[in-house]
Amino acid sequence: MAKRTVIFKNKPTIIGSYSIVGPKEGKGNFASYFDFIMKDDCFGQDTYEKAEKKMIESAVAGAIKNANIQASDISLLLSGDLLNQIISSSYAARNFDMGFLGLFGACSTMAEGLAVGSSLIDGGHFDNVVCATGSHFCTAERQFRFPLELGNQRPPTSQWTVTGAGACVLSRKGNGPKVTMATFGKVVDYEVNDVNDMGAAMAPSAMDTMLTHFRETGRTPDDYDLIVTGDLGKLGSEILIDLMEMNGIKLGLNYNDCGQMYFTRNQNTLSGGSGCGCSATILNSYIISKLRKGELQRVLFMPTGALMSTTASQQGETIPGVCHAIVIESDVKPQGGGVQSKSINKSTTASKGRSKKES
């Protein structure tokens, strides 16, 4: 079999990142890490779709500002989202005088952008690119399930699409966490057909990518101080743990899932968070901040996407999944030595971040 894992010799550097979230997300477990918390879900726009677009614009502009470079030094924006024809990304791209690569990997988009962007930097094709994605609870619900006005009941397996966007600038030079590997995922379909059970639909693709990554790199879960899937949620991440165990690999306390971690228990999101913005906002706030400080040394970041569509579902199709894996390593030596944080849930709300509330 042709390999699907790439090892980056020139180690593309994340020189800046930015995260913006909605008010509910701003009360979740990562509240103190986000750059910006919106006052309401409309973000001053007259539709939710326009709010989603504006969030992606803000994330891209924020990441460029935090990277401390000029937009004119960036060759490409790589972005995608959940909306039909990825309108949030492509309409946001109008505002940036740079090339645009539109991606669709559903909720795996942050990793797809990082995989392609890092390859372009590593190959010497470009000096700087920016990767972005985002999602919005209200646009996703009405496009994929029911209009919010219907007030329909949500089953226990359902997840809450995160209202948020994240972006980061990848560069050939500079200081910051390094992208050292990428395992490109394949489309896997275990014939789940419940649009309210995304975790089950995506877990097999996460398993496939994780097994491929370990096989092709010779690594094991112990080589990482954090292995984090995108948005399998509570149920999906349990399924992944089972699937991996069936393949002889035990995921320990260094494994977690962004969807599972996102909200507090009393926020009533059932199986947890989801959406492109779920893993993107945690990566571009909490994870990158910990890598910058050396509190995390080596992270396996694995956003998962459910490639579902109302048209396909109406025609009797099942829901395939895809998952790409990105290895990000700190450029700061660990302070205590060795692996720092085997379980990250505990420290989440404790330490102070840099988030600003919209005023």
Contact segment (CB under 8 A) with a copy of itself among 86-94, 217-225, 229-237, 243-251 equals 86-94
- What residues pair up with 201 in beta bridges, in sequence order? none
Smallest distance from the beta carbon of 286 to a copy of itself, in angstroms?
A: 27
Residue with token string 């991996």: 244
Q: Which is nearer to a copy of itself, 104 or 339 (CB)?
A: 104
Is 116 a binding residue for a copy of itself by CB under 8 A? The answer is yes
Question: If you count them, how many residues does the chain have?
Answer: 359
Is 247 a binding residue for a copy of itself by CB under 8 A? The answer is no
Q: How far apart are CA 68 and CA 187, in angstroms?
A: 37
Closest C-alpha among 143, 247, 161, 159 to residue 204 = 247
Total residues interacting with a copy of itself, rule: CB under 8 A: 64
Smallest distance from the beta carbon of 27 to a copy of itself, in angstroms?
A: 29
Angstrom distances, CA of residue 90 to CA of 74, 240, 339: 17, 33, 40
Residue with token string 């390593």: 329
Q: Do residues 300 and 5 lie in contact, with contact meaning Cβ atoms separated by under 8 Å?
A: no
Closest C-alpha among 269, 304, 305 to residue 160 = 269
- Tell me which residues in 312-331 interact with a copy of itself (CB under 8 A): 312, 315, 317, 320, 322
Residue with token string 């990277």: 67
Q: Which is nearer to a copy of itself, 37 or 77 (CB)?
A: 77
Q: Binding residue for a copy of itself (CB under 8 A) from 65, 189, 223, 249?
A: 189
Q: Binding residue for a copy of itself (CB under 8 A) from 39, 68, 123, 356?
A: 123
Q: How far apart are CA 160 and CA 280, in angstroms?
A: 15
Q: Binding residue for a copy of itself (CB under 8 A) from 64, 74, 244, 282?
A: 74
Smallest distance from the beta carbon of 155 to a copy of itself, in angstroms?
A: 22
* CB neighbours of residue 101 within 10 Å: 18
Q: How far apart are CA 165 and CA 202, in angstroms?
A: 21
Q: Binding residue for a copy of itself (CB under 8 A) from 25, 35, 41, 49?
A: 49
Is 99 a binding residue for a copy of itself by CB under 8 A? The answer is yes
Q: For 200, how many CA atoms within 13 A lie in the half-sphere containing its CB?
A: 12
Is 98 a binding residue for a copy of itself by CB under 8 A? The answer is yes
Q: Which is nearer to a copy of itself, 189 or 238 (CB)?
A: 189
Residues 134, 136, 142, 146, CA torsion sign: positive
Is 101 a binding residue for a copy of itself by CB under 8 A? The answer is yes
Binding site for a copy of itself (CB under 8 A): 1-4, 6, 47, 49-50, 72-76, 80, 82-87, 90-91, 93-94, 96-106, 112, 115-116, 119-120, 122-128, 143, 184-189, 307-312, 315, 317, 320, 322
